[in-house]
Structure 1
Amino acid sequence: MADSVPPSVRSRMMSGIKAKNTRPEMVLRRGLHAAGFRYRLHVEDLPGKPDLVFPSRRAVIFAHGCFWHGHNCPLFVWPKTRPDWWRAKIARNREVDASAVRVLTSAGWRIGVVWECSFKGPRRLPIESVIESCADWLRSGANSLEIRGLE
């Protein structure tokens, strides 16, 4: 199927998609800051440049977009245009994510992943419960956390 917009328009649209300061990330940041947590943002020295880094708790949180990270939820749909390119792109994103988790875990970091579908779409959770789950995990010392929309 041909793209419905010219390549120049598609390029402009795609360049507007942010990697930092996304809506899910900003919601997490505001909520955790209000709960008394302090963090660093996008630490480039760590694999995967985690969105939120809590050095004193040896924990990181990634706010993953369901499309870009190929999450198995209703928000993720394979594009019909250039399907081979997109499959390779999303597969590479997943490989990078898995590698970052392996390296961070072996270095003693605790890993949290909050999926976009927990904030958006028909299966979203109350924002307060997502923030509370993250805060409880940060206090707990548990190794991992994954928050996704309702099943």
Structure 2
Amino acid sequence: MTARPLPDSATTRARMSAQRRRDTAPELALRRELHRRGRRYRVDRAPLPGMRRRADLVFPRARVAVFVDGCFWHRCPRHATSPKNNAAWWATKLDGNVARDRDTDERLAAAGWTVVRIWEHEDPVTAADAVEVALHPARTDR
């Protein structure tokens, strides 16, 4: 495992450490919609024992892991931006996030899990519909 580079300014370090890991507004909106539909789930859990990566929502019996990805941090194809200040560091950081996401998806799929990735800008009702499809893949009436 390679050492992660540190941001070049105290301001950037402070901003990054203040970034919420859970309970973001898009995540809460999705959770409220799923709860309204009668869905119960685990919050901020590692789907696999010993896995250091945590899903935002986990449905253990159905083996479904849901990640609500921020557009900046996970390079949304519609909203991604690349900071100009310390551009090389940010490119390495954000590319690493995306690579880790793909690795997580592959590891979970290999263990028999379904991964649902939701972008923070997605409508909570539409996002909840995607989770419902993953929970009941054979059903087409939803």
**Is residue 81 of structure 2 the alignment partner of residue 77 of structure 1?**
yes
Tell me which amino acid in the other structure corresponds to 1:140: P
**Is residue 141 of structure 2 the alignment partner of residue 113 of structure 1?**
no
Deviation at 1:60, TM superposition (A): 0.9
Identical counterparts, % of pairs: 32
Q: What TM-score results when the alignment is normalised by the length of structure 2?
A: 0.80
1:133 to 110, 130, 133: 130
Distance 1:64 1:128, change over 3 A: same
Per the alignment, residue 30 of structure 1 pairs with 32
Tell me which amino acid in the other structure corresponds to 1:66: C
**Secondary structure of 1:56 counterpart:** coil
Structure-2 separation of matches of 1:130 and 1:96: 22
2:62 to 57, 63, 70: 57
**Secondary structure of 2:76 counterpart:** coil
- Quote the RMSD (CA, aligned, Å): 1.9
Structure-2 separation of matches of 1:33 and 1:97: 26
Per the alignment, residue 13 of structure 1 pairs with 15
Tell me which amino acid in the other structure corresponds to 1:14: M
Deviation at 1:19, TM superposition (A): 1.4
> After superposition, what is the alpha-carbon deviation per residue over 1:75-110, rounded to whole angstroms, capped at 9, x for unaligned?
211001100000000111111111111110000001
Distance 1:36 1:45, change over 3 A: closer
Unaligned runs of at least 5 residues, structure 2: 1-8
Whether the 8 Å contact between 2:55 and 2:67 is mirrored in structure 1 is yes
Unaligned runs of at least 5 residues, structure 1: 1-6, 119-124, 143-151
**Secondary structure of 1:117 counterpart:** coil
Distance 1:141 1:79, change over 3 A: farther
- Which range moved further: 82-91 or 15-24? 15-24
1:88 to 89, 92, 112: 92
Structure-2 separation of matches of 1:94 and 1:129: 23
Q: What TM-score results when the alignment is normalised by the length of structure 1?
A: 0.75
